[in-house]
Amino acid sequence: MLHIQDIAEKDVNRLIMPHENTPSPAPGQCATPEHCTTRLELFQRVSELDNRVSTDALTGLWNRAHFDHVIEKELDRSLRHKQPLSLILFDIDHFKRINDEFGHQAGDKVLREIALLANSAIRSSDALFRWGGEEFAVLAPSTGHRGAVQLAESLRGSVASHRFPVDGSLTVSLGVAEHADSESADSWFRRADGMLYAAKRNGRNAVHADARGNSDLWAASHGRAALHLVWQEAYECGEPAIDGEHRELFRLANELIDAFLAGGEEFAGVVRAYDSLLAHIAAHFANEEALLAQRGYAGLDAHRRAHAGLLGRARDLRSTVASGGAGLGGMIEFLAGDVVARHLFKTDRDFFPLFGGGPQRVAERGK
């Protein structure tokens, strides 16, 4: 599907092209202030229109068309970087009864409320879509099928414990599938859909998962190195101190993965590696915040809150594991996935322009 945003650049440039005798502006610049104003207004209109086309009018979530637009890019990123990608499908149990007994307006209100609950239950790196009717989809990057099951259970519990104005309590059924091998997006979706219907057949208000995925395939075929986080130049922000600490995060996260794979559920070695990574993360967050403050970073307060939240969750998880209340695999999933992969790949990229880093920096080096 061709999105409006895919053709916006060339069309806007065509509409505001200067007179043929006017010297051509440099890339990214405007011929005159009037052209700049026109260009900005056109991009804003195009962005608004694309947002309308990509979102579901009732719930405000991304729609099925946008899912189709992004899925191939997400699959390509997953395979290139060897980061797992999982899909969660869920729908509302006995939703037809709500429409039949209370009317479609009540049903629409339930759909909007489910959308709000699901948005609160998923992580900032995940993408939530309304697939159609009472069915929804979640794309969970850097997440294997085990982590996706935990995410799905969190979502299921949030809905089950919520009191709805219509009919009190409602439940959802969920199906989970991690992308495996080189299967097509359609085949992957069918596996997740099969798990959803298995949850329906087995009593509803449940999570069913296909226990296959690339994370296991890579581990079986290539050993430990397949699960390692791999540093690339595109991850550099351009500030040597921050980049050095980020590379050390990768090294310590990989040591944690190795300790887990070597010792299985043996506690002491994994926890030592966890504690080393956790100590480095705490020091890195403090150093990074100080450097961002020096540069006057506008998003510093939000960045500090994100750091504090991650550290709090990491320390709570450490205590839970020590008391036997959680598995070591969950500890690794959190640090290697949430803290290193998703926080660095997503949140940190917002400040990269301060230091001239990111993909553009790599492109310039190759010239």
First to last CA, the chain: 33
Please choose, from the candidates 153, 157, 174, 144, the residue with its C-alpha nearest in 3D space to the C-alpha of residue 329.
144
* Apex 241 CA angle, 258 and 252, nearest 5: 10
What Rg, from alpha-carbon coordinates, does the chain have?
A: 23
CB atoms < 10 A from the CB of 268, how many? 9
Give long-range contacts, CB 8 A cutoff, 24+ apart: 357-365.
357/236, 357/237, 357/238, 357/239, 357/243, 358/234, 358/236, 358/237, 359/234, 361/233, 361/236, 361/238, 362/233, 362/234, 362/236, 365/233
Sequence-separated (6 or more) residues with CB below 8 Å from residue 124: 342, 346, 347
Q: What is the pLDDT along the chain (367 residues), one digit of tens a residue?
A: 334 444 444 444 444 444 444 444 444 455 555 556 666 665 566 555 556 678 999 999 999 999 998 999 999 888 887 788 999 999 999 999 999 999 999 999 999 999 999 999 988 778 999 998 999 999 998 888 888 998 999 999 999 999 998 878 999 999 999 999 889 999 999 999 999 999 999 999 999 999 888 887 776 665 556 567 777 777 888 899 999 999 898 888 888 877 776 654 456 777 788 889 889 999 999 999 999 999 999 999 999 999 999 888 888 877 776 665 555 566 667 776 777 767 877 788 889 888 875 544 434 433 4
SS3 state at 1: coil
The residues carrying an active-site annotation are 134
Please choose, from the candidates 233, 229, 283, the residue with its C-alpha nearest in 3D space to the C-alpha of residue 256.
229
Question: Distance (Å, rounded) from C-alpha 276 to C-alpha 279?
Answer: 5
Q: Would you state the structure tokens that stand for residue 116, as one six-digit string?
A: 């709000």
Dihedral sign (CA 351, 357, 358, 359): positive
pLDDT recorded at residue 18: 43
pLDDT recorded at residue 286: 95
For the whole model, what pTM was predicted?
Answer: 0.58
pLDDT recorded at residue 82: 77
Reported as type and span, the H/E element at residue 137 is strand 135-141
pLDDT recorded at residue 28: 47
* Apex 66 CA angle, 7 and 152, nearest 5: 155
Q: Would you state the structure tokens that stand for residue 14, as one six-digit string?
A: 């065509």
